[in-house]
Amino acid sequence: MQVSIACTEQNLRSRSSEDRLCGPRPGPGGGNGGPVGGGHLNPPGGEGSRPKARATPVPRPPAQSEALRESTGRNTGMKYRNLGKSGLRVSCLGLGTWVTFGSQISDETAEDVLTVAYEHGINLFDTAEVYAAGKAERTLGNILKSKGWRRSSYVIATKIFWGGQAETEKGLSRKHIIEGLRGSLERLQLGYVDIIFANCSDPNSPMEEIVRAMTYVINQGLALYWGTSRWGAAEIMEAYSMARQFNLIPPVCEQAEHHLFQREKVEMQLPELYHKIGVGSVTWSPLACGLITSKCDGRVPDKCRATIKGYQWLKDKVQSEDGEKQQGKVMDLLPIAHQLGCTVAQLAIAWCLRGEGVSSVLLGVSSAEAADRTLGCLQVLSQLTPQTVMEIDGLLGNKPLSTKYYRQ
Chain centre to alpha carbon of residue 348: 17
pTM of this structure: 0.81
Please determine, for residue 32, whether its predicted confidence score (pLDDT) is greater than 70: no
- Most confident listed range (17-21, 180-184, 318-322): 180-184
Please determine, for residue 338, whether its predicted confidence score (pLDDT) is greater than 80: yes
Chain centre to alpha carbon of residue 291: 22
Q: Which residues are catalytic?
A: 131
pLDDT tens for residues 105-114?
999 999 999 9
State the pLDDT at residue 93.
Answer: 98
Q: Which CATH fold would you assign to the domain 80-294+352-367?
A: TIM Barrel (3.20.20)
Is 202 within 8 Å of 172 (Cβ atoms)? yes
State the pLDDT at residue 386.
Answer: 86
Q: What is the DSSP string of 228-239?
A: EES--HHHHHHH
Across residues 300-304, what is the average pLDDT? 61
Please determine, for residue 275, whether its predicted confidence score (pLDDT) is greater than 50: yes
Across residues 47-55, what is the average pLDDT? 49
Please determine, for residue 7, whether its predicted confidence score (pLDDT) is greater than 50: no
State the pLDDT at residue 261.
Answer: 92
Edge-to-edge strand order for the sheet containing 70-72?
Answer: 70-72, 79-82, 89-91
Q: Dihedrals φ, ψ of 97, to 5°?
A: -120, 5
Share of the chain residues as helix, strand and coil, in percent rounded to the nearest 5: 45, 15, 40
Q: Which range is least confidently modeled, 31-35, 53-57, 85-89?
A: 31-35
More confident call, 280 vs 28? 280
pLDDT tens for residues 115-126?
999 999 999 999
Across residues 88-94, what is the average pLDDT? 98
Q: Which range is least confidently modeled, 66-80, 91-105, 165-179?
A: 66-80
DSSP-derived pairing of the beta strands 253-257 and 280-284: parallel
Q: Give 18's pLDDT tier (boundaries 50, 70, 90).
A: very low
Please determine, for residue 282, whether its predicted confidence score (pLDDT) is greater than 80: yes
- The mean pLDDT of the chain is 84
Q: What is the dihedral of CA 370, 133, 229, 243, to 10 degrees?
A: -140
Please determine, for residue 368, whether its predicted confidence score (pLDDT) is greater than 90: yes
Is 61 within 8 Å of 68 (Cβ atoms)? no
State the pLDDT at residue 355.
Answer: 87
pLDDT tens for residues 237-264?
999 999 999 999 999 999 999 999 999 9
State the pLDDT at residue 401.
Answer: 59
Across residues 8-35, what is the average pLDDT? 42
Across residues 57-73, what is the average pLDDT? 57
Q: What is the DSSP string of 209-270?
A: HHHHHHHHHHHTTSEEEEEEES--HHHHHHHHHHHHHTT-PPP-EEEEE-BTTB-HIIIIIH
Across residues 172-181, what is the average pLDDT? 98
State the pLDDT at residue 360.
Answer: 98
State the pLDDT at residue 6.
Answer: 47
Is 252 within 8 Å of 280 (Cβ atoms)? yes
DSSP state for residue 40 in the 8-state scheme: P
State the pLDDT at residue 284.
Answer: 97
Across residues 55-63, what is the average pLDDT? 50
Closest to 239 measured CA to CA, from 260, 274, 210: 210
Q: Give 319's pLDDT tier (boundaries 50, 70, 90).
A: confident
State the pLDDT at residue 204.
Answer: 97
Is 362 within 8 Å of 283 (Cβ atoms)? yes
State the pLDDT at residue 24.
Answer: 45
pLDDT tens for residues 384-400?
988 898 899 888 877 66
Across residues 217-246, what is the average pLDDT? 98
Is 90 within 8 Å of 83 (Cβ atoms)? yes
Is 283 within 8 Å of 255 (Cβ atoms)? yes
Closest to 159 measured CA to CA, from 143, 142, 136, 141: 136
State the pLDDT at residue 291.
Answer: 84
Please determine, for residue 273, whether its predicted confidence score (pLDDT) is greater than 80: yes
State the pLDDT at residue 84.
Answer: 96
Across residues 160-178, what is the average pLDDT? 97
